Amino acid sequence: MALLFSLPPPSSPSSSSPSFSSHYFSISLSSGHQSGRRIRFLPVAATTTTHNRQHSIPLDKSWLAVAEASEEDQLWAAACLRVRSFYDFQDSSYGIHDHKRYLTEREFVALKERIAGKRKGFKRVSCINATLPLSQLSSSANDLCAACKFTSNGEDRVVVGTLDLNQCLWLPEEIAGTKPEGIEAGFGRAYLSNVCVARELHRNGLGYDIVTKSKIVAEEWVLHQMVEAKCITDAYLGHLA
């Protein structure tokens, strides 16, 4: 399965719209399975903004959880972090809070539709979040905690990093690229999007943690579907025998 990812550039500080990247990188991951399969990272556009440099809050990562998200409270928190990360807002602007909520609701609905398989072109989508207990974040992260908090099993937690892992037959606006052939043709493409980490927690390796988790999930997807495809093929050939 090809897994596509890019690092985006900054947007204008005065803008409340995201900007698009033309700067890419590629890496590869060797699978630990006997097949020797490789998950390849190739370029695809993404979005982000930059913010004024600020002191990064150190973390005790023993409290960190990185996992796929499905509960609506956590998906809402992820949508809040994305809007907070991908847009620059002037707090003095009129109606800014309503505008933030509008953007968050739009991303929340779109994220749920992608995960549910209701968006054309997306075969499978997983939201992968890095979360920390609210109690582990200092008072200097009050704004982050207020915006991106959710409750799971009675515990208040905060989404501090998020991305989407997307499996698809083609990429949005794709004009070039090597497409899978043979048994992989129906499920051999995947890419990462909406990759962001709370700006207060940069330089703690959270981006690496969520990307590493996405590789594990992608491997699980492709192995499951290869087994499923083999079972269907064997059943068909057995019927012909």
Domain 60-240 has CATH 3.40.630.30: yes
Residue 130, class by beta-carbon neighbours within 10 Å (0-12 exposed, 13-18 middle, 19+ buried)?
buried
The model's pTM is 0.73
DSSP for 122-150?
EEEEEEEEEEEEGGGS-GGGHHHHHHHEE
DSSP for 62-103?
GG-EEEEE-SHHHHHHHHHHHHHHH----TTSTTHHHHHHHH
pLDDT in tens, 59-114: 999 999 999 999 999 999 999 999 999 998 877 777 888 999 999 999 999 999 99
Confidence of residue 221 (pLDDT cuts 50, 70, 90): confident
Main-chain phi, psi angles of 235, to 5 degrees: -65, -40
Confidence check: pLDDT of 13 > 90: no
The single-letter DSSP state of residue 57 is: P
Provide the pLDDT for residue 239. Answer: 56
The domain limits of the chain are 60-240
Confidence check: pLDDT of 132 > 90: yes
| Average pLDDT score, the chain | 76
CA 194 to chain centre: 5
Provide the pLDDT for residue 31. Answer: 39
* 78, two tokens: 């992820």
Amino acid at 132: L
- What mean pLDDT do residues 34-38 have? 44
Cα–Cα–Cα angle for 123, 19, 193, rounded to 5 degrees: 25
173-201 core/surface letters (b: 16 or more CB in 10 A; e: else) = eeeeeeeeeeebeebbbbbbbbbbbbbbb
56/19 Cα distance (integer angstroms): 24
**What 3-state class would DSSP assign to 49?**
coil
Higher pLDDT, 142 or 140: 142
* 60, two tokens: 């005790």
21/24 Cα distance (integer angstroms): 8
